Amino acid sequence: MARSQAPGASPFCLFYHEKTKYSPEGLTRRRSALDWSQQPTATKEYRTGELLDLRPYLPGQPLEQADDPRSRLSRVLYLTYGATAVVAYPERPFYMRAAPSAGGLYPAEVYLVSRGDDPRLPPGIYNYQVPSHSLVRFWSGDVWEEAREACFGHPAFERASYAVVVSGVFYRSAWRYEDRAYRRVFLDSGHLLGNLELAAALADYRVRLITGFADDGLNALLFLPASEEEVLAVAVLAEGADADREDGPTALPSPVQFDYPPIPEGQRLAYLHEVSKLVAPPKGPVSDCGTEDKYNFPFCLKVPVAGEALDWRGQLDETILRRRSTRQYTGADLRFDELAALLDFTYRPQRYKDQGLDPDPQYAHLFLLSTFVVVLGVEGLEAGCYYYAPRAGELRQIRFKHFRREVHHLCLGQELGRDSGAVVIHTADLEAAAERFGERVYRTLHLDSGHLGQRLNLAAIRLGLGVSGIGGFFDDEVNEVLGIPEQEAVLYITTLGRPQPQRGGE
């Protein structure tokens, strides 16, 4: 997706995307030794505040009770972002989480805002302390209406008692990935939201996602240090399976920034976040979404994909907690029914309503995303690159070729790409998206891609397969080599395959 790189010639998010692309030449110039002694800590500590230990409220523990909000929220938070393993390094322990993170850097922080409807969780703002699985109430008092006002009066607050707020500490990722870290922070937060959606359903909540809010107002409410930590998303926890779905938008458009000065390397992440902020809700109705599959290539091979619904009963908690990113695949083929089941769980959530899961999980701009599947080794399916049409339920072949060598190169030489059975690629037409929804759409497209990626993660683990997300790739070459339309910007790659028996990674 070659665009003009001159300031002012395009929305800033396109300029940012171009400037943070990887190329073989550019990556060689960028490589430098990291000082691992300077790696930021991945946890936030509060020296004051009231501590609520959530461990006794986990399922099977002495204080666990179905009607106790502490029990329900303990389960939700643990399955969303809890520590599932601890590695004892000499410098400090490393806490592996329920949600994957690029480089194990964990840029996200999780907060809970309580309305105070139940005295067992008094009103105030809590931070989730991952290492101890506890909540620290660092601000006591009624802030519910202030939070609602910062979300422009979103009606989801009317019938709820709790809201989960996800923030990003940008430097935790930028330390390693520089300006490109902005992509990874939102992908990682999307993983977290994918877990939250499923964990909330297990506790009989439904997530009402809000990505359109007054950024600086919400940051101030949580006492976040300016320019260091910023709110990324709000998830109001609505009660019950019949929570009203018609109660406000998940996303709001922002202005487009055409008039910007030359932004030097190292400052583009911060500038994009700043120009994508909202101060007030937009005037007029929010643009409606699309409903049709985007591409229908003439004369292409079309393969119906009708997967069996995965059985999650009694399995979802365990699957979330044992998820690990695979480090090495065997190169053996996947079965067609396995690929079909992966796509079914990711794109057809309505089929899982009878298992108690949310049949309509919320995304910000799902209709702006396209999905391509590179088949490297799937029994009964020709090798090549396919567009996945979720509404028609079929794979549409756009290029026939054995791509193992090429995918190995495109994924920065990672053997995960070469040895996988299939690679799922999420893309979006950034120019068209920014024209409709402004600079802020760059955030939400990556949040949604991470959310979809986490559903793929969990489905793969449930099937006994290996899975690993890749946020680093040679952007333009992915389109050129695989035949993906030029206007589609590649946002995220998920590799799927048969894992080598070994200790899993993050």
Per residue in 227-279, pLDDT (tens digit) is 899 999 999 999 975 465 567 899 999 999 999 999 999 999 999 999 999 99
pLDDT digits (tens, 9 = 90+) for 345-377: 999 999 999 999 999 999 999 999 999 999 999
Lowest mean pLDDT among 67-76, 209-218, 307-316, 496-505: 496-505
Identify the pLDDT of residue 506.
Answer: 63
Closest CA to 107 of 167, 164, 183: 167
Q: If you average pLDDT over residues 104-109, what whole number do you get? A: 97
For the domain bounded by 47-241+260-275, which CATH number is listed?
3.40.109.10
Which residues of the chain form CATH 3.40.109.10?
A: 47-241+260-275, 289-497
Sign of CA dihedral 52, 58, 63, 66: positive
Looking at the chain, the number of H-run helices and the number of E-run strands are 15, 18
Across the chain, mean pLDDT equals 93
Q: If you average pLDDT over residues 325-350, what whole number do you get? A: 97
Q: Tokens 């939070």 correspond to what residue? A: 147
Closest CA to 295 of 193, 234, 169, 385: 385
Identify the pLDDT of residue 1.
Answer: 38
Identify the pLDDT of residue 5.
Answer: 47
What is the DSSP secondary structure assignment for residue 310, as one 8-state letter? P
Closest CA to 200 of 190, 210, 211, 192: 192
pLDDT digits (tens, 9 = 90+) for 165-202: 999 999 999 999 999 999 999 999 999 999 999 999 99
Pair type for strands 384-389 and 466-470? unpaired
Identify the pLDDT of residue 175.
Answer: 94
Does the domain formed by 289-497 have CATH 3.40.109.10? yes
Judge whether 300 and 398 are in contact, CB under 8 Å. Answer: yes
Would the pLDDT of 296 be above 80? yes
Closest CA to 69 of 83, 93, 52: 52
Q: Characterise 292 by phi-psi region: left (phi > 0), alpha (psi -120 to 50), beta (else).
A: beta
Angle CA 339–331–85, to nearest 5: 80
Alpha-carbon distance of 27 to 196, in angstroms, equals 35
Would the pLDDT of 222 be above 90? yes
Alpha-carbon distance of 176 to 453, in angstroms, equals 22
pLDDT digits (tens, 9 = 90+) for 53-100: 999 999 999 999 989 999 999 999 999 999 999 998 878 889 999 999
Q: If you average pLDDT over residues 398-413, what whole number do you get? A: 96
> The pTM is what?
0.95
Identify the pLDDT of residue 92.
Answer: 83
Token pair, residue 70, equals 């502490």
Q: If you average pLDDT over residues 443-460, what whole number do you get? A: 98
pLDDT digits (tens, 9 = 90+) for 25-51: 877 655 566 787 788 999 999 989 999
Amino acid of residue 48: T
Could you please report the per-residue DSSP string of 314-359?
Answer: TTHHHHHHH--B---B--PPEEHHHHHHHHHHHH-GGGGGGGTS-S
Identify the pLDDT of residue 286.
Answer: 72
Would the pLDDT of 4 be above 60? no
Beta bridge partners of 497: 466
Pair type for strands 162-169 and 108-114? antiparallel
Closest CA to 331 of 374, 373, 372, 376: 376
Judge whether 499 and 323 are in contact, CB under 8 Å. Answer: no
